[in-house]
Amino acid sequence: MHPSFRIMPPHPCDFGRARIRIGRAEMNRLGVMVGDPVLITGTRKTAAICLPMDYIHLPHDPEFEFVDNGGTRLPHARLSNIVSLNALGGSNLPLIQIEKTKARKSKTITLSPRHPLSFKKEHLELHGLIGIPFVTGDFIRARFIPSGSAFMDFFVSSSIPAECCSVITEDTEITITSCRPNFSIPSKLSGFKKTLPLQNKIVSESLEITIESIDLYDSGFRFFLVAAYLFDDQREWLGNKISLAALAFDDLGNSYACSKIERSQGVWTINGPQCSRLSLVMTPALNEMASRLTLVVNEITWNVRERKDGQVLDKIAHAVKHEPTVISVWLPQKAFCMIAAGPWSLDVDLHRKHVLR
């Protein structure tokens, strides 16, 4: 499993560029030099140029540190806006995985405009794309020469060779097409195959995660699980939003990204645990030759609100009792997150006999 990094706000100098910044110590551990390409896994895989992260405090940086349940601080990574779009697809995934990679020279690349605009190929500064690493399905930016400083976003529809990571060179043949494919990361699975009923559990002092079943599809698979967590500080206004930072890998070395999380049911009790039933959509499809699958949950995040002002509510109730009045009240509330930091892992024996639904 590749090391996890916590996403930090982007560096202002990296806007629109395929860049990611990590600490020099992390670069040494990965074996990458300044300017080397790296492969990033979020809800999908993408590529970026790796640069050192200067430990300066930016306006939107958090004022606190995250540590896992072993007391270890996860390293940070600053993703540019375009790399964040390519890796996360607009999701709020808090963690990514980074690995060293070798980019192959792209012979041809086909680009489709993200928005329906009228332009000519000679209006684009394509020379500025040289050196950009990419994965098919990424967005890349090219400067629109007539405007002076404006850029246009393009979708990488295809490339040769069709490797996981390629790089644009002076010899790359660039084709611009007018078709606009579906840019969204697939979250709906197709081609249902079978269900593997399970009851695999992780149990700790305050956490219990149960995998109920796995649905296998031609295009991916879906975990159904229940996460139950007993908080030290019981909170009256725990929000309904819950998110997991999760990934999976098999015994053949294949990795699978979580492209969507759905919450189907939640139960909150005064003295008991917060229970949420979730489904995790994982892509690509599970390798049929794999005999073991491991699900890793790096952290669980709940949306939490502070308690409402009881005195204000008492005054409203008193006024309503004594006089028929319509009262409109807006109470500002602070929102923050409660995080249970992992990682926790669950192993699934895919060769065990299962009863299909």
| Residue 309: predicted pLDDT | 44
Q: Is there a single domain that holds both residue 147 and residue 199?
A: no
Q: What is the DSSP string of 20-66?
A: EEE-HHHHHHHT--TT-EEEEESSSEEEEEEEE------TTS-SS--
Q: Is there a single domain that holds both residue 220 and residue 311?
A: yes
Flag whether 59 is in a domain: yes
Q: Is there a single domain that holds both residue 79 and residue 161?
A: no
| Residue 201: predicted pLDDT | 83
| Residue 329: predicted pLDDT | 36
Q: Is there a single domain that holds both residue 241 and residue 146?
A: no
Q: Is there a single domain that holds both residue 213 and residue 297?
A: yes
Cβ-contact 302, 238 below 8 angstroms: yes
CATH number reported for the structural domain that contains residue 114 in this entry: 3.10.330.10
Distance CA 295, CA 178 (A): 40
Distance CA 84, CA 78 (A): 9
Length of the chain: 357
CATH number reported for the structural domain that contains residue 46 in this entry: 2.40.40.20
Write out the residue range of the structural domain in which residue 36 sits.
4-100
Q: Is there a single domain that holds both residue 161 and residue 123?
A: yes
Q: Is there a single domain that holds both residue 252 and residue 299?
A: yes
Flag whether 186 is in a domain: no
Do strands 166-167 and 104-105 pair parallel, antiparallel, or not at all (unpaired)? parallel
Flag whether 239 is in a domain: yes
Per-residue pLDDT of the chain (357 residues; tens, 9 = 90+): 677 888 888 888 898 899 999 999 999 999 999 999 999 988 888 999 999 987 777 777 766 565 555 556 778 899 999 999 888 876 667 788 899 999 999 999 999 887 766 677 888 888 889 999 999 989 999 888 877 778 888 899 889 987 789 999 999 999 888 766 554 455 578 889 988 888 888 777 777 888 888 999 998 999 888 888 776 655 544 555 677 788 899 999 888 888 788 776 666 655 666 778 888 888 888 998 999 999 888 888 776 655 444 444 444 444 444 444 343 333 334 446 667 777 788 888 887 644 333
Flag whether 187 is in a domain: no
| Residue 356: predicted pLDDT | 34
Flag whether 321 is in a domain: yes
Q: Of 132, 149, 176, which residue is a domain's last?
A: 176
Flag whether 116 is in a domain: yes
Q: Is there a single domain that holds both residue 240 and residue 202?
A: yes
| Residue 25: predicted pLDDT | 92
Q: Of 100, 124, 159, which residue is a domain's last?
A: 100
Tell me the two tokens of residue 195. 């269900």
Closest CA to 114 of 88, 74, 149, 82: 82
Q: Of 75, 100, 125, which residue is a domain's last?
A: 100
CATH number reported for the structural domain that contains residue 232 in this entry: 2.60.40
Flag whether 48 is in a domain: yes
Q: Is there a single domain that holds both residue 330 and residue 213?
A: yes
| Number of domains, the chain | 3
Q: Is there a single domain that holds both residue 214 and residue 126?
A: no
3-state secondary structure 223-269: EEEEEEECCCCCCCCEEEEEEEEEEEEECCCCEEEEEEEEEEEEEEC
Check residue 185 and report its DSSP letter: P
Q: Is there a single domain that holds both residue 68 and residue 140?
A: no
End-to-end CA distance of the chain: 32
Flag whether 183 is in a domain: no
Q: Is there a single domain that holds both residue 84 and residue 135?
A: no
Q: Scan for tokens 């192959």, then name that residue.
A: 104
Give how far Cα 229 sits from Cα of 5, 211, 239, 338, Å.
24, 15, 14, 11
Q: Is the peptide bond before 284 cis (omega within 30 degrees of 0)?
A: yes
